[in-house]
Structure formats: C-alpha cells, structure tokens
Structure 1
Amino acid sequence: MRGVIVKKIGFLSFGHWTPSPQSQTQSAADALLQSIELAVAAEELGADGAYFRVHHFARQLASPFPLLAAVGARTRRIEIGTAVIDMRYENPLYMAEDAGAADLISGGRLQLGISRGSPEQVIDGWRHFGYAPAAGESPSDMARRHTQVFLDLLRGDGFAQPNPRPMFPNPPGLLRLEPHADGLRDRIWWGAGSDATAQWAAKMGMNLQSSTLKDDEGGQPFALQQARQIRAFRAAWVEAGHARAPRVSVSRSIFALVSDADRAYFGRGGAEQDQIGFIDEKTRAIFGRSYAAEPDTLIAQLRADEAIAEADTLLLTVPNQLGVAYNAHVIETILKHIAPALGWR
C-alpha cells in the first residue's frame, strides 16, 4: 500500500429524477438545474470536483455537454467531469467539438471520464443512435475504436483537406476541428471494469476511473481487488513511457452520521458488505460496500480501505433526489469531519 496521498475530493451524481412526492428531484429540469446548484455549493464548500454520470433511455442525466458548459459558466475553480460517457453511443468528431467548447467555457477545468458503458436500459441502445459494430467487432471493440478516434482528434492535428474556395479564409495546411482545447487530451479518463482494461487505459495515456463495481477477478474483497487494479494501471503506465504522471479516482458512498437526518436516512445499516452479482450472462461482478457511521468509526473504516489509499481523487456518490441542501451537507461533513483526520487535505 502507498503512503497517505493528499486527495482531491469531489461528488458524483447520477442525476436521478422521479415524479414522486418523496423525491425532491421530480423532473429532468430539476435534475439539470439542481446539478448546477450542487456544483456551485460544492465549490463554495471547498470541494475539488463535480462529476456526473451519463445514462441513456433513463430518468437520469444523459446529455453531458450542455450541463458541463453550464456548470463551467457558473463556477471558477472546481473540476468538472463525467463518470462515464458510454463511447458506444458517441460520434467522436461531434464529441470533440462539444468537449472543446465545454472545456474552453470552464477555463480548462474539464475532466472527461469515458468508457464502454454499463448495462443498458434498452437492448443495444447504441443502434438507435446510428452505430453498429463493424464486421468482427464486439460493442466493446466499437467503443474503443470510437475512443481512439476521439483521442487522436484532441491532439489538434489537421486532417481535413480545405476547400480551395472556402466561405471564410482558412489557415494554411490541413484543417482540424474547432474549437480546440489545449491540454484536454491529458484530462481524459477511462472507467475500467477489469485489470486488463485498466492496463489498456494506461497504454493509451488516459487517467483511471475505478468505481464501486468491477469484474470479480480472484475473489478477494472489493477494496483489495480495486487496489490491485490501480497498481496494475500504474505499472502499465510506467511501461508505456508516458512523460506525465497519471491520475486515479475511486468512487464511494460515504455518509458521516452527524445529524438526525443522517441517521434517519443512512443509520440503519445495510450495504455494509461487498456484494456479488452478474452484470451480464458471462460477467461476475463485485460491488463495493457503502460506508455510513459516526465520524470516529467512519475514519477507522476508511483508513482500512486500501483502494482509497492508492487513489489521488475520491468521488463521493450523492443521493441527488434528497435535494441540493442535504447533498451539500453530505459533502461538507466529509470535508470537515473525515478528510483532515485521514490526511487527505
């Protein structure tokens, strides 16, 4: 295990909305506007990141770039990202333009998490977006192909032959997509579900996002498997010879019980052990535990989480349907009561 690493701490919202009296997020408009307000509140509290999940065909956040641009326009310091965009659904050229625009609006704060994606709400949903694997490709292969094109575009090299009689004057040489955001290529992350995909991400020069779900590879507790995945990623990064140091994030559901509301929502136990399940017919997966306890107990539990110790960035998954004020409280309790005691700040 590595020594204590000073950590960036952000939140990760799935952006659920439910037209139910029990939910404070009842519509898509609520989910989007409250996501912006939570990012503003998190920045004011001193958090480092506002990250958003992307799910298609679901009552959740789905189109990230308008949201990222809006958050970028309302904030000044906090990192803004995704965890993750499903590359099976993406046109890499259009995505490069959207990502460049959002990054420029935010002043270079975009941290874009991409991946093959998770199990879907519909069957082969990417087909409805106009995409299909090439001959001999799997959907995962298609996602990686889209990713390679996207990464190449972010380098900013010209590739398109200019019209000899253009509407507007062109710079000399082949043309690139605009707007181009310098440095964004180094701020792309891959959400890896296995040791092998983490090593592939390292080879490609992407940072690593590891969530509370991964392939069960060996039967050890989740945190140990995740720590092993992170170490495999870092070893592959060194072997690839990249000049810069990579970043690694893990996500966790962590609740410090410091109020009656905390105890009412999360003080009754449950999800305190790793869970085993199947994300498809062939893939056995392990789901990491949640943490909810009084601060002293929580500090001891988190100190023993080997994967958190390995990471430089911690994303707190938040129950967004409980409203902006409560979720800001959740973030504040971690920053105030937990992070300093663990040497994270």
Structure 2
Amino acid sequence: MPDPSTPLRRLGFLTIGLFDAADPGPGHESTLQVIELGEQLGFDSAWLRHRHLQHGISSPVAVLAAASQRTRRIELGTAVTPLAWENPLRLAEDLATVDVLSGGRLNPGLSVGPPMRWDDVKQALYPDTAEVEDFGYGRVERLLGMLRGEPVSGFSGTVGIEEFSDRVQPHSPGLADRTWYGGASLRSARWAGEHGLNLLTSSVVKAEEPGEDHDFASVQQAQVRLFREHHPAGAAARVSQGLVAVPTDSATREQREKYAAYAAARLPRTTSPQGPARLLFAPDLVGTSDQLAEQLHAHAGFREVDEVAFALPFSFEHDDYVQILTDLATRLGPALGWRPAP
C-alpha cells in the first residue's frame, strides 16, 4: 500500500478455534458461528490455524468443510497447514474435496519444516521413516503438482466394475492458484515468489540482517519486496498480512481492560529477536479504529499490501470475537478504505 489514499482491497480474519478439552463441541461450534458472522459482515476471507496436540482446531480442513455448508460467499483458508504433519497425496484429496464443496472458495496456506516438538511426536507420526522424512520445500511442490492434476499413479482404467484415475480425485481446477505459502524469512519469501505461490506474512518474521533486530515492519517490508521481485506476476503478486489488530470502538470497559492487558503481557517478546531462530514478533495493536488506522498507515509492512487477515487473539471469549469482528468490518475496515462484500 503506497500511501493512505490507496484503499484496502480485501479484509479477512484468522482464528485458532480454542475449545474445552472436556467438552470440545461448543468451541468448534463457536468457530463456525464466527465464520458465519464474518460472511454476514462482508469479510472477504476467514482463516483457521492448525494446533496439533493442543486445545485448538487440529483439523481446519474438516472444520472448513462444515463452514462451506453454512456460508455461500466468504473465502475459507488455512494459515497455515504444516506439511510435516501431512501426507501430500491424502491432503490433496481433502483440499480438493472441500474446494468442490465450497464452490471454489478454499485457500490452502502451507508451511514446511520439522513438526513442533519433533522429538516428542516423531515415533507416533513416522514410526518407521522418521529419520528419512524430508520436510523441505519439495513437500509443497509435490502437493502443488497433485492439485494441478499431475499423475500420481502409473495406472488408469477399469478393473471389473471399478474405474481408476491416475490423478487426485476430485480434481478442482484453480485450487493450486489459490494456494499460499506462510513465509517468515527472506529465503522462504524468495522461494514462494519463484514458485508462483501467494504469500502469507504474519505477526512473526525472522530477523536475519544486521540492523533488523528491533524493526519488525522493515523486516516484513523487505521480505514482501523480495517475494514480488521473484514472482512471475511482479508487483501484482498477492500478499496478505496478518497482524493482531483489536479495535475497541464498541467494547465495554471490561473488554478494553482485558485487551490492553493481553497486549501488555505479550509486549516484552517484541523488543528483540527470540530463540535460536531469531523470531521477531510484532506488537499487538489495540485501540480505536482511528488510532489503529493511523498506526497501520505508518507500518512499512502494511504499506506493501492491499489485503489483510487480522489475527484474533487466542484466548478471548465468543462475545469478544463478535465485538472485534463487528468493529473490524464497520469501523477499522472503512477507515482503511475497505468496503464490505455485498
């Protein structure tokens, strides 16, 4: 986004879908209701995170299948699916099925790398092949080829009364073009661009260059620009940003206090790179829509994009999400030049 006069084109949101381990049904239902509300408010997209072996949605593709039958327009995405947990062939079948059910609204977001807590889960996840599994970019390329309809079997034809295909079924044309890569480094941004993917950039990046340590926005800006430099579509290549932005316009006093305390508790991790990977976190943005719009227009990363998927804080209640989504759609979005879908 070159200047504040350029309107935000697409507005989405991202949620983790927390639930009670003793009674998971209501949490999943709340997530579906939030997606339905997003469509009613005119959001362009709704995205779900993966949370394996936690009390957040572990199977977003299954939840989005349900959401596809309760919505008609809003696009549905994963941000992101860690491919180390997936068999690309089976995942391709699931993604294509949900895309068909949704009428072509699915936007798969992907990432690579070893599973979180690899040493703890590898025996259950890959009991016979843990030492030879490749968790690199090749896993994405395999999945993309399958989504595009490349052969996965050396046989097609009829055996008895059964007909076999040599490519993933169902085949959903266009799904591969709606696939995104969740990148946090210059290397991943460049790779995603070279392979023609869309780019999801979030509130976490890697500080890799001297002088970057305390400037999240500049790091993110550099990654977005490098992505587009290497993408066939150039400046037109799609990038979606995913900061945490919590408008307080219609919030109660108790909600405002809760939101401010949440952001303050997470602020210390934003002051310097964290851990061996040197992860740099963006501060959570909390305030009125006018205040948030001013902060975003001054943000070097935000100024590079014209679509966003604001991340909802993980630990809030359903009523909080209703208030935040309503203010995003009716206050902050318009302050950024966005207009709701009809």
Q: TM-score, normalised by structure 2?
A: 0.87
Candidates 125, 131, 134, aligned match of 2:121: 125
Instruction: Confirm or deny that 1:47 pairs with 2:43.
Output: yes
Tell me which amino acid in the other structure corresponds to 1:65.
V
Q: How many residues align?
A: 328
Q: Tell me the residue number matched to 1:22.
A: none
Q: Relative to 1, partners in 2 of residues 1:149 and 1:167: Cα closer, same or farther, differing over 3 Å?
A: farther
Q: 2: CA distance between counterparts of 1:233 and 1:95?
A: 26
1:156 deviates by 0.9
Q: 2: CA distance between counterparts of 1:243 and 1:342?
A: 24
1:256 deviates by 1.6
Instruction: Confirm or deny that 1:184 pairs with 2:180.
Output: no
1:148 deviates by 1.4
Unpaired segments ≥5 residues, structure 1: 20-25
Q: 2: CA distance between counterparts of 1:142 and 1:296?
A: 43
Q: 1: CA distance between counterparts of 2:24 and 2:20?
A: 9
- Output aligned runs, 1:211-290, within 5 Å: 211-218=202-209, 219=212, 220-237=214-231, 241=232, 245-258=236-249, 259-260=251-252, 261-268=254-261, 270=264, 271=266, 274-279=270-275, 282-290=276-284
| 3-state DSSP of counterpart to 1:162 | coil
Are the aligned partners of 2:20 and 2:27 in contact in 1 as well (CA < 8 Å)? no
Q: 1: CA distance between counterparts of 2:39 and 2:114?
A: 29
Are the aligned partners of 1:320 and 1:327 in contact in 2 as well (CA < 8 Å)? no
1:133 deviates by 6.0
Unpaired segments ≥5 residues, structure 2: none
1:200 deviates by 0.3
Q: 2: CA distance between counterparts of 1:286 and 1:95?
A: 30
Q: Relative to 1, partners in 2 of residues 1:162 and 1:134: Cα closer, same or farther, differing over 3 Å?
A: same
| 3-state DSSP of counterpart to 1:250 | strand
1:195 deviates by 0.9
Tell me which amino acid in the other structure corresponds to 1:9.
L
Are the aligned partners of 2:244 and 2:313 in contact in 1 as well (CA < 8 Å)? no
1:267 deviates by 3.5
Tell me which amino acid in the other structure corresponds to 1:34.
S
- Output aligned runs, 1:68-217, within 5 Å: 68-116=64-112, 120-121=116-117, 123=119, 125-130=121-126, 132=129, 141-162=134-155, 166-168=159-161, 170=163, 175-217=166-208
Which stretches of structure 1, 4 residues or longer, exceed 4 Å deviation after superposition? 131-135, 242-245
Q: Relative to 1, partners in 2 of residues 1:27 and 1:248: Cα closer, same or farther, differing over 3 Å?
A: farther
Candidates 12, 15, 19, aligned match of 1:13: 15
Tell me which amino acid in the other structure corresponds to 1:309.
R
RMSD (Å) for aligned C-alpha atoms:
2.6
Are the aligned partners of 1:81 and 1:111 in contact in 2 as well (CA < 8 Å)? yes
Are the aligned partners of 1:112 and 1:188 in contact in 2 as well (CA < 8 Å)? yes
| 3-state DSSP of counterpart to 1:276 | coil
Higher deviation after alignment, 157-166 or 107-116 = 157-166
Are the aligned partners of 1:15 and 1:32 in contact in 2 as well (CA < 8 Å)? yes
| Cα deviation 1:209-257 (Å, max 9, x = unaligned) | 11111111232510111011101100110xxx35994311111111122
Q: 2: CA distance between counterparts of 1:331 and 1:118?
A: 33
Q: Relative to 1, partners in 2 of residues 1:297 and 1:48: Cα closer, same or farther, differing over 3 Å?
A: same
| Cα deviation 1:277-330 (Å, max 9, x = unaligned) | 434xx3111100111113332222121112122123211211354333321220
Q: Relative to 1, partners in 2 of residues 1:28 and 1:56: Cα closer, same or farther, differing over 3 Å?
A: same
Q: 1: CA distance between counterparts of 2:208 and 2:7?
A: 26
Higher deviation after alignment, 301-310 or 44-53 = 301-310
Are the aligned partners of 1:191 and 1:209 in contact in 2 as well (CA < 8 Å)? yes
Q: 2: CA distance between counterparts of 1:147 and 1:155?
A: 12
Q: Relative to 1, partners in 2 of residues 1:167 and 1:242: Cα closer, same or farther, differing over 3 Å?
A: farther
Instruction: Confirm or deny that 1:36 pairs with 2:15.
Output: no
